Structures are given as C-alpha cells and as structure tokens.
C-alpha cells in the first residue's frame, strides 16, 4: 500500500528558502571583506573624505550673488558638459570648412594649428624644435608634438619598462 503524498513544504524547500534569504547578506559580507582587503582599489581614509582637496578655484560671492574674488593655485572652474559641446549649431565655429564645437576649435588653435594638414606627425614642427633645441640650445620655443602624438603618449605612458614597444605602437597610430 502506498502512502499518500504529503502536501506542504518539505525540508529541502525550507533549506532553499533559507539559502535565498541569506545569500544577499553573504554576498554583502564578501564584498565588504574584498573592499577592505583592497581588491577593488585603494579606499580613501576618513581624513581624506572629511577634507577633500579640490583643484577648483574658490569663489567669494557678495550678498547679491556676484563673484567678487577667487583664490586659486590654478584657475579652474566647473563647466557643464553641454557648455563644451553646445547642441545649438549657431554656436559652432567654422574651421577649415567644417563646423566644430568651440572647445574643439580652441584645442586645435592652441595645440596643433596644422592639425588638418598632416597625418599625425608634423615634420616642420619637429625640425623647428630640433634646430632650436640642439643647435641653438633654446628650449623655450614650444614643442613639436601634435594632438595625435599627445594622445598616443597618454595612451601608452612612458613610465613602463616597455618604452621601445610604446614608440613602435605610436608609430603604428
């Protein structure tokens, strides 16, 4: 004679319910332990959190909300991303026949005037720097690197032991 099936929750089901209920707590404890061990990177100290160091200029305001002075080592201020790349194309600047956002035009104007006329290496600028630096011992006339070379330099930092590999990768760009 077979016994009728019991309806209700069995011991296996109860174990699964407990496992599911405690899994978030176990995962949280594991994450906290790994964070404390530094697996996810360095955590700032309480002193660093309580006294943040900002590179932004400190602005002093008058009662009517106008800036009356600033204190800074480097004059930096916060700018909204939308202000750098305005959606309004009437604010764009025409540069070499193309409409570009003002920040792009400013970067090209200050860093690499011949940006659109070379393939990433500006030979006349490199020659100028070589002549002024080597022959005339003058190091104050500015660099000869292009925006492309500066990007490659930042993508492949020189503090690695693979400096020759970095130069080869830069040449490939």
Q: Residue ranges per domain, the chain?
A: 119-173
78 contacts 93 by C-beta, under 8 angstroms? no
126 contacts 144 by C-beta, under 8 angstroms? yes
Give the pLDDT of residue 10: 84
Give the pLDDT of residue 160: 53
The predicted-structure confidence for 87-121, as pLDDT tens digits, reads as follows 787 788 887 788 888 888 888 888 888 887 888 88
Q: Which of 5-19, 114-128, 134-148 has the lowest mean pLDDT?
A: 134-148
Q: CA–CA distance from 37 to each of 30, 32, 34, 40, 92 (Å)?
A: 11, 9, 5, 8, 49
Q: What is the mean pLDDT of residues 5-15?
A: 79
Judge whether residue 30 has pLDDT over 60: yes
Judge whether residue 31 has pLDDT over 80: yes
Q: What is the mean pLDDT of residues 30-59?
A: 82
Containing 129, the helix (H) or strand (E) segment is helix 123-130
111 contacts 153 by C-beta, under 8 angstroms? no
Beta carbons within 10 angstroms of residue 113's beta carbon: 11
- The overall average pLDDT reported for the chain is 80
Give the pLDDT of residue 3: 67
Q: What is the mean pLDDT of residues 122-129?
A: 84
Q: What is the mean pLDDT of residues 168-173?
A: 61
Give the pLDDT of residue 112: 81
Judge whether residue 162 has pLDDT over 60: no
Rounded to 5°, angle at Cα 36 from 33 and 38: 115
Q: What is the mean pLDDT of residues 53-67?
A: 88
Please state, in angstroms and rounded to a whole number, the distance separating the CA atoms of residues 71 and 58: 5
């Amino acid at each position: 004679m077979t016994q009728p099936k019991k309806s209700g929750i069995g011991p296996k089901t109860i174990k699964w319910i407990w496992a599911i209920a405690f899994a978030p707590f176990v995962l949280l404890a594991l994450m906290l332990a790994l964070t404390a061990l530094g697996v996810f990177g360095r955590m700032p100290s309480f002193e660093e959190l309580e006294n943040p160091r900002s590179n932004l200029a400190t602005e002093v305001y008058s009662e009517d909300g106008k800036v009356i002075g600033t204190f800074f080592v480097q004059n930096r201020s916060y700018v909204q991303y939308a202000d750098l790349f305005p959606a309004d194309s009437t604010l764009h600047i025409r540069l070499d026949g193309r409409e570009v956002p003002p920040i792009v035009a400013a970067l090209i104007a200050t860093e690499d005037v011949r940006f659109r006329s070379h393939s990433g290496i500006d030979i006349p600028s490199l020659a100028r720097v070589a002549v002024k630096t080597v022959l005339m011992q003058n190091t104050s006339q500015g660099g000869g690197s292009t925006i492309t070379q500066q990007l490659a330099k930042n993508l492949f930092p020189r503090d690695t032991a693979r400096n020759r590999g970095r130069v080869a990768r830069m040449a490939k760009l």
